[in-house]
């Protein structure tokens, strides 16, 4: 009995450092690291591919732009396609399980990229990378939403997404230099090191929902757990003090055929196929405020993917830069990401709508001005760096504010659709819609920018990107929330979701 009791104590004892491993800081830093890993793996290939496709894969110079756009498009398709499945799994079970599985996919994708010598192997690697990203953003952001205070969600989303932006835009700089001086395989040695750090972070973290179950058991005495052979049979049904009342309730319940009109009412019959197959997604997609946030995130990612696709080629043709210069230029748009938490906190303080509109305006104006850069002159190089810097500021104002507004809207919808959302909530599935937007933007951006840049010129391409960036401003102005917080005044909870 002593041995079995000791085994049960060990089995039921909480994990070591439970409170630290499940704290919002640990979960936030882990999600930041996961986003950084995804962005770094994705962005490290950007300055290398224009050269490795020719040198390693035998692609002609004229076909390089086609393969660059194809690789980015494939990533986006699988990012968006895997998001609904990842969101459903993260809401229906432990979020940490798909979160860890995403890292396995990222490792496999990196292996394929490392040893690929044919374009189709590179495409397969991008497919796995897209699936990995879909898991990271659905499960990872849901983990953060579970752990942080709703009043701080904007700051935390800004912090977490700054990891992706830093990885996405800092990696071309480092990868370009490493590729020039140390060669192709040296780039992937660094990538595997980044993955190793991510493994440690994800293994150390414990998700909030799991930790809450352990913390609820802390006050229980494990010595009181009875042995299997000494447990008394459950006779609660025989001695239920409310048994008589329960019998009365059962007797008063209407027969099945009297309730059938309620079970098969017209509203249920008129539900669309989406509502029948994916009821939570249908509820989320019916919200204009939420869909405006999703569309704004699509625009943000479309712009980033467009810049990734054509900027290295532009500086190579216009300034005659090598992969090092093509990587260094991305530092200008990366620097604002260092203040991602600050930009996110602005939406907590002033509301998502004014912050997002400021970001859209700043980005649109500087994209249009980037079209003025056309010559291999020092002034043009300086102006390009300045414009890219302000584009980076604008992008960091757009995404965290919209991601936070999406979170607020899910909370509002949960109050009226609690049965549809279930006990697991809808955060992961809401962020799966965001991932669909990321995937669509990643696919659409390179095609649009690459096509216009190849068929027209740099100024026209920048003008079209500026126009696409301005479009979400209308929806943001009418639907995006203001200061979203809840205060108790006189015992009544008042929600200021719109200002």
Q: What is the pLDDT of residues 447-487, one digit of tens each?
A: 888 888 888 889 999 999 999 999 999 999 999 985 544 44
The number of beta carbons lying within 10 Å of the beta carbon of residue 497 is 17
Which residues fall within 8 angstroms of residue 440, CB to CB, at 6 or more apart?
A: 76, 80, 298, 302
DSSP H or E stretch at residue 495:
strand 492-495
Tell me, what's the pLDDT at 269? 44
Burial of residue 82, with CB atoms counted within 10 A of its CB: 0-12 exposed, 13-18 middle, 19 or more buried = buried
pLDDT digits (tens, 9 = 90+) for 375-414: 889 999 999 999 999 999 999 899 888 988 888 888 888 8
pLDDT of residue 472: 94
Cα torsion 446, 449, 452, 458 to 10°: value is: -140
Residue 161, pLDDT score: 77
Locate tokens 């020719």: which residue? 54
Q: 0.85 cut: is pTM over it?
A: no
pLDDT at 218: 64
Rg of the chain in Å (alpha carbons): 26
Say if CB 128 and CB 111 are below 8 A apart.
no
The token pair at 290 is: 């939420």
pLDDT in tens, the chain (499 residues): 454 554 455 456 778 888 888 888 999 999 999 989 988 888 787 777 777 788 777 777 777 777 877 887 788 788 878 877 887 777 777 788 888 888 899 999 999 888 877 888 888 988 998 889 888 888 888 888 888 887 787 788 778 877 887 787 677 778 878 887 888 888 889 999 999 999 999 889 988 878 877 777 765 544 454 544 444 444 444 444 444 444 444 444 444 444 444 344 344 444 565 566 668 778 888 889 999 999 999 999 899 888 877 888 888 888 988 767 777 787 888 788 778 788 888 888 888 899 999 999 999 999 999 999 988 899 999 999 999 999 999 998 998 889 888 888 888 888 887 777 766 667 777 878 888 888 788 778 888 888 888 888 899 999 999 999 999 999 999 999 855 444 433 333 333 333 3
Q: What is the Cα–Cα distance from 135 to 303, expressed in whole angstroms?
A: 22
């Amino acid at each position: 009995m002593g041995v079995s009791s000791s085994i049960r104590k060990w089995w039921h004892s909480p994990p070591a450092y439970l409170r630290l491993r499940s704290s919002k800081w640990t979960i936030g830093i882990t999600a930041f690291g996961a986003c950084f890993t995804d962005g770094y793996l994705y962005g490290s290939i950007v300055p290398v591919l224009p050269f490795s496709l020719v040198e390693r894969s035998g692609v002609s110079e004229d076909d390089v732009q086609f393969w660059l756009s194809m690789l980015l498009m494939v990533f986006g398709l699988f990012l968006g396609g895997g998001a609904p499945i990842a969101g459903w799994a993260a809401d229906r079970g432990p979020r940490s399980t798909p979160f860890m599985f995403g890292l396995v996919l990222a490792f496999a994708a990196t292996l394929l990229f490392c040893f690929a010598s044919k374009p189709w192997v590179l495409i397969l690697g991008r497919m796995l990378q897209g699936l990995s990203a879909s898991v990271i953003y659905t499960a990872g952001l849901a983990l953060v939403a579970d752990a942080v205070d709703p009043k701080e969600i904007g700051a935390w989303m800004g912090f977490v997404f700054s990891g992706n932006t830093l990885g996405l835009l800092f990696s071309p700089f480092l990868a370009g230099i490493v590729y020039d001086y140390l060669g192709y395989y040296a780039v992937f040695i660094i990538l595997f090191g980044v993955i190793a750090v991510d493994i440690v972070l994800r293994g150390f973290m414990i998700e909030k929902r799991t930790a809450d179950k352990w913390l609820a058991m802390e006050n229980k005495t494990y010595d009181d757990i009875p042995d299997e052979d000494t447990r008394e049979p459950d006779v609660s049904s025989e001695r239920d003090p409310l048994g008589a009342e329960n019998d009365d309730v059962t007797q008063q319940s209407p027969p099945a055929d009297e309730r059938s009109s309620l079970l098969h009412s017209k509203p249920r019959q008129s539900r669309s196929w989406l509502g029948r197959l994916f009821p939570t997604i249908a509820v989320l997609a019916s919200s204009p405020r939420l869909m405006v946030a999703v569309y704004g995130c699509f625009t943000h990612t479309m712009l980033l993917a467009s810049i990734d696709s054509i900027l290295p080629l532009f500086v190579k043709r216009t300034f005659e830069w090598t992969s090092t210069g093509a990587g260094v230029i991305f530092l200008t748009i990366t620097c604002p990401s260092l203040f991602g938490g600050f930009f996110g906190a602005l939406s907590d303080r002033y509301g998502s709508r004014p912050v997002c509109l400021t970001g859209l305006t700043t980005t649109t104006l500087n994209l249009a001005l980037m079209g003025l850069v056309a010559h291999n002159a020092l002034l043009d190089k300086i102006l390009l760096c300045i414009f890219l810097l302000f584009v980076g500021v604008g992008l960091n104002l757009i995404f965290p504010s919209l991601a936070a507004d999406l979170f607020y809207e899910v909370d509002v919808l949960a109050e009226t659709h609690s049965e549809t959302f279930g006990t697991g909530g809808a955060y992961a599935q809401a962020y799966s819609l965001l991932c669909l937007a990321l995937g669509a933007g990643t696919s659409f951006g390179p095609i649009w920018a690459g096509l216009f840049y190849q068929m027209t010129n740099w100024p026209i391409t920048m003008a079209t990107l500026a126009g696409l960036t301005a479009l979400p401003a209308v929806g943001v102005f009418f639907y995006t929330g203001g200061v979203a917080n809840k205060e108790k005044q006189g015992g009544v909870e008042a929600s200021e979701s719109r200002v």
